[in-house]
Amino acid sequence: QWRAPVKKTTIEIPAGKVDSRDANFHDTVIRELNEEIRYVPQTVKELYGFYSSVGFSDEYMKLYLAENLEPVKDQLPRDKGEFLEILEKTMDEAVQMIADGEIQDAKTITAIQYWQLMQK
């Protein structure tokens, strides 16, 4: 996905902000998965929350685990100007992409490292 602040295309996990369409974080997870990867999870589990950069921002993010994904029947529109390419990677491939500098987004690195820790 193109990110203007860093002036490049980045590799990221699905993510989004809670907005007026959502009653809570859980609803945001469902909506963002539909919009970005066109899947709906059967279960969603909140893992933990974290501040993205406490030195200059109060942005607080929550990491969720979405399981038993199925293709959506009714696709929600993507955000205006959002052009996405879906990548499916194994954990080992994703870890290597971090090591190679292909993945530089903090929330995505955090999610992949959590996935890696849970495999041990």
For the residues of 45-89, what is the DSSP string, one character each? EEEEEEES-TTT---EEEEEEEEEEEE-SSPPPPPTT--------
Banded pLDDT at 6 (limits 50, 70, 90): very high
Residue 64: count other Cβ atoms within 10 Å of its Cβ: 22
pLDDT digits (tens, 9 = 90+) for 58-95: 999 999 999 999 999 999 988 787 788 899 999 999 99
Domain ranges of the chain: 2-88
pTM, two decimals, is 0.88
Banded pLDDT at 2 (limits 50, 70, 90): confident
CATH of 2-88, one of 3.90.1300.10, 3.40.50.450, 3.90.79.10, 1.10.3720.10: 3.90.79.10
